[in-house]
Amino acid sequence: MLAMRRAAVATCLLLAGLGLCAESARACNVPVFRYALERWAPAPYEVLVFHRGPLSPDAQQIVADLRKRGRIDADDEAAAINLLVTDLDAAPSAAARKLWDASPGATAPWMIVRYPAFLGIDGDVWAGPLTRENVAAVMDSPVRRQIARDLIQGESAVFLLMESGNREKDEAAALLLKTQLAQLEKELELPEPTAGQWNDPVYDEKGPPKMRLGFEVLRLSRTDPAEQFFVKMLIGPAPDLLKGGEPVVFPFFGRGRALCAIVGDQLSADRIGEEAAFLIGPCSCIVKDQNPGLDMLMTVDWDAALEGQASAIPVVDPPPPTGLAAFATDPAKAATAGEDARRTSLIRHVVVAIICGFGLLTLIVLVWRRRRAA
């Protein structure tokens, strides 16, 4: 438990960066979550590609696609994906060579994903062969798409519950989150806007999404094969978070930024309230790196999505329908399915009645024959 608490503290300190600014530095009454959504470009992750000699045509295309969608340099904030690609040939730098040596069993072409450089995190997020399947898993996942979609559509924050695997603990944590956040939506209030402070005021109801106060709860299984990169990215700064066997909560805001990690006995109604109040409160600093949080690697064109381009909003596949739920979107089909079910049930009862009647008749005949024989 002590190691878990230390991990949580370390994560929150890391996510806090240089810490919150002083109250006197307050620049506006724009809520933190809204200012971050509109103005804080996510920090770039670095993808290092190791190989000896020319890459195969397929590998060359993979790298070219990553370069096309990623950033030209660390200051490029116009790219759709917050990543930088570094193609390393047979003579990498000493630092890159050290990273290669630290990857047991590595075979070229090899890919290593690193946290944003300014954080100074020594460990890698992920390392593995350069394949289309691995690149797809690194760049995107269903839970990341859902988080981004919720934030783009106006949720103030998404509280992500990383499940422990203990059903009782996970359900208790989920109930606490949903109950407390529903209450906070009624109790908290957005700060009053400062008139004339912005040329493009965030309180303009014409701009997407409409300003509102709302929280969402999502759940993440730490064993989900599709989310393994995301899990590693979340716990990388403090791997001890998972050692206690407790659910961990990450509040997300802005453009896919995790505010902190809440684990174990830290997860309480008061703590949830503190984080929610900070996110909907007035922005205390306009400098992103002086605010708490750790950006996630997400394949999202945030600017295009916020400009109202529907194609830029992440698509989340709904779970496959089962049983009569498959007809839920079509009343006619639902009615037909119900009628078919009733008809089948009636036929089944008729058949059973016939069989029972035949059996009874057979028994009567047998008894009658025995009496005559006697």
What pLDDT, on a 0 to 100 scale, did the predictor assign at position 266?
A: 95
What is the band of 372 on the pLDDT scale with cuts at 50, 70, 90? low
Domain containing 113 — which CATH number?
3.40.30.10
Report the range of poorest mean pLDDT among 99-113, 162-176, 181-195, 327-341: 327-341
Q: How far apart are alpha carbons 174 and 125 in whole angstroms?
A: 27
Domain containing 335 equals 324-373
Answer whether residue 318 is part of any domain: no
Same domain for 149 and 291, yes or no, is yes
Same domain for 30 and 56, yes or no, is no
Please report, rounded to a whole number, the percentage of residues in the chain having pLDDT higher than 90: 46
Average pLDDT over residues 143-151: 97
| CB environment 212-227: b (16+ within 10 A), e (fewer) | ebebbbbebbbeeeeb
Same domain for 149 and 132, yes or no, is no
| CB environment 84-94: b (16+ within 10 A), e (fewer) | bbebbeeebee
Q: How far apart are alpha carbons 341 and 338 in whole angstroms?
A: 5
Average pLDDT over residues 142-165: 96
Higher pLDDT, 102 or 11: 102
Q: At what angle do helices 269-280 and 32-39 cross, to 10 degrees?
A: 50
Q: What are the tens digits of pLDDT across the range 259-308?
A: 999 999 999 999 999 999 999 998 766 677 778 899 999 999 998 898 88
Same domain for 353 and 267, yes or no, is no
Q: What are the tens digits of pLDDT across the range 303-325?
A: 889 888 888 889 987 654 433 33
Same domain for 193 and 286, yes or no, is yes
Domain count, the chain: 3
Answer whether residue 82 is part of any domain: yes
Higher pLDDT, 26 or 104: 104
Among residues 139, 158, 189, which one ends one of the domains?
139
Choose among 236, 227, 245, 246: nearest CA to 176.
Answer: 246
Region label for 294, one of left (φ > 0), alpha (ψ between -120 and 50) or beta (otherwise)? beta
Task: Give the number of other Cβ atoms within 10 Å of residue 294's Cβ.
Answer: 26
What pLDDT, on a 0 to 100 scale, did the predictor assign at position 308?
A: 84
Same domain for 188 and 270, yes or no, is yes
Answer whether residue 183 is part of any domain: yes
Answer whether residue 319 is part of any domain: no
Average pLDDT over residues 114-143: 92
Q: 305, 313 in Cβ contact below 8 A?
A: yes
What pLDDT, on a 0 to 100 scale, did the predictor assign at position 199?
A: 43
Answer whether residue 204 is part of any domain: yes
Higher pLDDT, 236 or 372: 236
What pLDDT, on a 0 to 100 scale, did the predictor assign at position 36?
A: 92
Same domain for 28 and 56, yes or no, is no
Beta strand ranges found along the chain (DSSP E):
45-50, 83-88, 110-114, 124-129, 157-163, 215-221, 248-253, 257-258, 262-263, 294-295
Among residues 107, 139, 171, which one ends one of the domains?
139
Average pLDDT over residues 172-188: 97
Answer whether residue 317 is part of any domain: no
Answer whether residue 284 is part of any domain: yes
Among residues 94, 117, 139, which one ends one of the domains?
139
What pLDDT, on a 0 to 100 scale, did the predictor assign at position 207?
A: 55
Reduced to 3 states, what is the DSSP secondary structure of residue 335?
helix
Asked if residue 12 has pLDDT above 60, the reply is no
Asked if residue 144 has pLDDT above 90, the reply is yes
Alpha helices in 188-319 (DSSP H): 228-235, 269-280, 302-306
Average pLDDT over residues 103-128: 89
Choose among 345, 301, 335, 347: nearest CA to 80.
Answer: 301
Same domain for 175 and 278, yes or no, is yes
Q: What are the tens digits of pLDDT across the range 43-98?
A: 999 999 998 888 999 999 999 999 888 887 766 666 778 999 988 875 677 887 88
Characterize the bridge pairing of strands 215-221 and 157-163.
parallel
Same domain for 81 and 97, yes or no, is yes
Same domain for 105 and 149, yes or no, is no
Q: Residue 193: which residues within 8 A CB-CB, separation 6 or more?
A: 29, 30, 201, 202, 203
Report the range of poorest mean pLDDT among 207-211, 281-285, 290-294, 344-348: 344-348
Global pTM value: 0.76
Reduced to 3 states, what is the DSSP secondary structure of residue 118?
helix
Answer whether residue 20 is part of any domain: yes
* Cα distances (angstroms) measured from residue 44 to each of 41, 71, 121, 153, 201: 9, 8, 14, 23, 27
Same domain for 280 and 264, yes or no, is yes
Q: 84, 20 in Cβ contact below 8 A?
A: no
Average pLDDT over residues 240-262: 94
Same domain for 32 and 154, yes or no, is yes
